[in-house]
Structure 1
Amino acid sequence: MAGSPDRTQDEGGLRDQMVRFHSYLHGGTSSLISTLIVFPVYKTVFRQQIHNTSVHRAVGQLLKEGAAKLYRGVAPPLLMRTLNGTLLFGLQDTLHHQLSLSSQQVIFPSALPALAGFGAGLVEAVVFTPFERVQNVLQNGQNDRHVPTLKSVLVRLKGKRLALGYYRALLPITVRNALGSSLYFGLKGPLCAVVEAQGLSPGVSSFISGTLTSMAISLTLYPLSVLVANMQAQVGGEVKGIMACWRMLWESRQQSVALLYRGGSLVILRSCITWGIATAIYNRHQKRSD
């Protein structure tokens, strides 16, 4: 029967599945584009975090190594960020949809995006910690001799226990990603509405909201990112726990917050470009799909 409730319900369910699929597709696309644009900036920040150098010196190191090495190590982050965006945006949208159906007003609707983002961040940490581990090893210039290629890194990490190999620094990554995702999805929507109310276009509003949100998150959680980079950059040698690594990091920065935040200015720039572009592209595609 053409107008039967069952058929209408089936069609509605199919449309709903397509909307969820679009969230995964658009998340991956937006992340891929933004990653290609900001990778040189990311690599400069990484050098500052590992070698405790100024922006000028870090850029000088990269220029000395030449253009051929500028995108050395881009494959893992490109793959990671594309898959990351696919999972993060798509899973958050799926979790948000499920929570909306099942919460029955036990949870305030305004809190659902942040709660779904927290769940997506937990899954993201478990899935992508190995990618980040490989990326940090490859981008550490001190590893060029004994692990010069992606294959050599993979072989070296495979021979270690998960906690020391691919899943080194899982706990701080989980904390960083869960909190960061929760704040991002909880804040970007309200900020976008506020900016758009000033008369700006939806695309510009999305870019600004993504920029401001990620800027605040990056600066807040930056010490965790520095800790993760230092824990994951080495392969072999003496293995220390989280607190021991944090004490070493704090002492190496002369117990100075300013030195701990070295590279923070470029983190702001990277966040502005990456999440501004990603948010704008994602929101635009989602509106077209609705």
Structure 2
Amino acid sequence: MEEQNNSVGKELQHRTRAEVPGKKSWHSQAYTLGAISNFLSTFLTFPIYKVVFRQQIHAMAVSEAVRQLWHEGPQYFYRGIYPPLLSKTLQGTLLFGTYDSLLGFLSPDGPHSLGQRWMAGLMSGVVEAVALSPFERVQNVLQDARKQACFPSTFSILKEFNSYGLWGRLSLGYYRGFWPVLVRNSLGSALYFSFKDPIQDGLTSQGLPHWVPALVSGSVNGTITCLVLYPLIVLVANMQSHIGWQRMPSLWASAQDVWDTRGRKILLIYRGGSLIILRSSVTWGLTTAIHDFLQRKAHTKKEMKD
């Protein structure tokens, strides 16, 4: 029975990206599955995310960040949830959907090499960065406690951005901090998709329940990826929290400011690392497990119809 389950799991991983010739390509459903899995995991882990964000901006301890949120009151605890909920849902749609489409284009019949998975992940990350940077920009301003008085709502932030000229709306408004976002997203996607399936295949061969390999694979990949790219995550959060065209430091000045305010120490750059491990493990573990579960359900329904 275990061997049968393992073979079904491996067959599913290949068939979701390349269907039998003459039949409709199944990988179009990856867009829907990615949206649902990211929506659910984002909603469940938002409290962790907000504490981590406060650490990245203010370089404070976990207890101090929690205390700050507690003093602000419950009416502000979920302030800023709508932009990440929308952006993460779109992220899942683009990330999983474009990855499967690009991988199918690079290698229609499979199996897929490490280089092909890396390239498809890299390109899907580029698409994701272009499409979602404006959402992350608004989200980071909303979650900065220092901006609550001047910019209490999403509308007030959009009004400020739209008061700039055309180039200012892009470079200083919606796409502030775009280049580090591009590097972070493209490398992050490439790393995640390159090693997700090998880890999952290895665990599946041990005869574990099918949800365990997906959960562990997502957790391990998410944790390693976020730790490697954590300095970029901190830089993006600090750059995108700035608002007001007259006070916009450059990319280099922003990086230098983060380095200086962290006492020129790598350990202080990684302040919040304990929670980033937890958040990454939970978020990507849940996302991968939910995506795998939905994928299996859709595959089973398709088999029954055929």
Determine the structure 1 residue equivalent to 2:194: 186
- CA–CA separation in structure 1 for the residues paired with 2:108 and 2:92: 24
Alpha-carbon offset, residue 20 of structure 1 = 2.3
- In the alignment, which of 103, 112, 117 is matched to residue 113 of structure 1? 117
1:289 Cα deviation from its structure 2 partner: 2.8
Task: Give the Cα separation in 2 of the matches to 1:114 and 1:284.
Answer: 24
- Which among 60, 68, 92 is matched to residue 67 of structure 2? 60
> Contact 2:41 / 2:286 at 8 angstroms: preserved in 1?
yes
Does residue 89 of the first structure (1) align with residue 93 of the second (2)? no
Is 2:206 the counterpart of 1:198?
yes
Residues 158, 166 of structure 1: 8 Å contact kept: no
SS state at 2:173 partner? coil
Which among 226, 230, 251 is matched to residue 222 of structure 1? 230
The answer to whether 1:270 aligns with 2:279 is yes
- Give the unaligned 5+ runs of structure 1: 1-10
| Equivalent residues of 1:38, 1:274 under 8 A apart | yes
Alpha-carbon offset, residue 286 of structure 1: 1.7
Q: How many residues align?
A: 275
Does the 8 Å contact 2:220/2:281 carry over to 1?
yes
Alignment partner, residue 163 of structure 2: 159
Q: Does 1:140 align with 2:144?
A: yes
TM-aligned CA deviation for residue 197 of structure 1: 2.4
1:177 matched to 2:181: no
Match of 1:21 among 9, 22, 28: 28
Q: Please state whether the residue corresponding to 1:72 is helix, strand or coil.
A: coil
Secondary structure of 2:172's match? coil
Identity of aligned residues (%): 44
Contact 1:138 1:149 in 2 (8 A): yes
Q: Using the alignment, how far apart are the partners of 2:21 and 2:31 within structure 1?
A: 19
- Kindly provide the amino acid, as one letter, of the partner of residue 139 in structure 1: Q
AA at the equivalent of 2:37: S
For residues 1-80 of structure 1, what are the structure 2 equivalents within 5 Å? 15-16=24-25, 19-80=26-87
Q: Which residue of 2 aligns with 1:281?
A: 290
Alpha-carbon distance in structure 2 between the residues aligned to 1:218 and 1:83: 20
Question: Could you tell me whether the CA contact under 8 Å between 2:203 and 2:213 is conserved in 1?
Answer: yes
Does the aligned pair in 1 maintain the 2:242–2:248 contact within 8 Å? Answer: no
In 2, Cα distance between equivalents of 1:114 and 1:159? 40
Deviation at 1:276, TM superposition (A): 0.3
Partner of 2:218: 210
1:253 aligns with 2:235: no
The code of the aligned residue for 1:288 comes to K
Amino acid at match of 1:195: L
Q: Is the 8 A contact 1:192 1:206 kept in 2?
A: yes
What is the TM-score normalised by the length of structure 1?
A: 0.91
Q: Is structure 2 residue 242 aligned with structure 1 residue 234?
A: yes
Deviating runs (4+, > 6 A) in structure 1? none
> What amino acid maps onto 1:249 in structure 2?
V
* Structure 2 SS opposite 1:254: coil
Structure 2, unaligned runs of 5 or more: 1-19, 300-306
- CA–CA distance in structure 2, aligned partners of residues 24 and 148 of structure 1: 33
Aligned counterpart for 1:124 among listed residues 108, 125, 128: 128
RMSD, aligned α-carbons: 1.7
Q: Secondary structure at the match of 1:163?
A: helix
- Residues 172 and 224 of structure 1 are in contact (CA less than 8 Å); yes or no, is this contact kept in structure 2? yes
Report the Cα distance in structure 1 between the residues aligned to 2:22 and 2:240, rounded to whole angstroms: 44
d(CA) in 2 for partners of 1:70 and 1:100?
46
TM-score normalised per structure 2:
0.87
Contact 1:118 1:179 (C-alpha < 8 Å) held by counterparts:
yes
| TM superposition shift of 1:14 | 5.3
